[in-house]
Chain A
Amino acid sequence: MSQQGPEPIELHAPRTYAMPIVLRSGDVMNVGRPVKRHGRSRIARLLVAFSLAAYLAMIPVAAHAGWAQSTVGWYTNSGHNYQSYAAVNTAPGSVNAYTYAGPRDFTAPTGWIGMRARIMNTAGSVVAESSNVYTPQSLTAGSYWSAYLGRSIVGTWYSWGVTYAWNGSSYDAYMTFKSPYQNS
């Protein structure tokens, strides 16, 4: 089933580049005449350039189409260490959300780990959700199992999964970290 979602939005203010005007005490501002500077003015200009470059490098980029994944989250349940993360993959008109979970440092028996995938929009609404998946085979340390779902929709999305760990008598649930935003 497909639908038309909201239009893609920019997630940050548009980049604008403005050359800062820096007046130094050594400048002599005479209209119609060249500006005289002391030798240290060059160093000051270089510092300004470095600062500007560093600032530009830190501006977050907009959501793009393609693959993006969350930080890998670690957690411990009943003495066993697990890891999980969420990922989103978009193309024009479609989005797929993935949830990955696996054991960090032990072999998890069949069915010990569960997970499901969610697609979220920027307004905080759940847009799509899968049913739970439980691992149909044992998983060795460092390996993952995944659950994923896809939708044919246009907009800006992120993925956010739920994972489960068997504690010996029931499953305990953990949220993954959220994936970055991606546009479809």
Chain B
Amino acid sequence: MRKKVGSAVAVAVLATGAGMLGAATGSAEIAHESLPTKTTAPTYATNASGQRYGSVADITSPDQEPDLIQAQATNGETGYVYKTELDEATGASKKFSSPEEALAWQDTRAGKSTTINVYQSDGRSVIGVFVIQPAESGPAS
């Protein structure tokens, strides 16, 4: 009886170890796959001003973002930032006519942070601020 239980436990331990080894090996290999094609935009709630608000966690493209994007203010409060203000601060709304123009814009923004308001879902009541940081950047292997 003890031998059988012992052998079963030993097999379980070995099999678990093998499984974990396989998982670890798998995680070391970086998977590649095509990005998902754009799907229908998530359904957002609408405030009294007719502005859509919600999380961007389920979007497949930046153009699916709502008018008010769920964000965490620097004081820890959860609210919403205006997409227009966020896009202006990140440069997402810029209509560059050439890569050179984009690079020139980048030079003007070097090292500068931008602070925008965080609102309640009504889009009016300010509950904090959100800081768009200048990105560090560099080549990567």
Q: Which residues of A contact B (CB under 8 A)?
A: 1, 3-5, 34-35, 42, 45-46, 48-50, 52-54, 56-58, 69, 71-75, 83-85, 100, 102, 109-112, 114, 116-117, 120-121, 123-134, 136-137, 139, 143-149, 162, 166, 169-171, 173-177
Contacts and interface: CB of A to CB of B under 8 A. Distances in A.
B135 A147 contact: yes
3 nearest A-B pairs in the assembled complex, by CB-CB distance: A57-B19, A111-B99, A124-B55
A179 to B, nearest CB: 12
B58 to A, nearest CB: 8
Contact of B92 (A4, A48, A132, A139): A132
A128 B99 CA distance: 26
26 contacts: A3-B75, A34-B1, A49-B15, A53-B12, A53-B15, A57-B16, A57-B22, A57-B23, A71-B31, A111-B99, A111-B100, A124-B57, A125-B71, A126-B130, A128-B131, A129-B90, A131-B109, A131-B135, A132-B91, A132-B106, A133-B135, A137-B139, A148-B136, A148-B137, A171-B96, A174-B61
A45 B10 CA distance: 12
A83 to B, nearest CB: 7
Contacts of B11: 46, 49-50, 53
A126 to B, nearest CB: 4
A83 B32 CA distance: 9
B119 to A, nearest CB: 13
Contacts of B133: 128-131, 149
Q: How large is the interface on B (under 10, 10 to 19, 20 to 34, 35 or more residues)?
A: 35 or more
B124 interface: no
B90 A53 contact: no
Contacts of A71: 30-33
B102 to A, nearest CB: 5
B126 interface: no
B45 interface: no
A114 B31 CA distance: 22
B141 interface: yes
A139 B136 CA distance: 18
B30 A146 contact: no
Contact of B78 (A100, A123, A128): A123
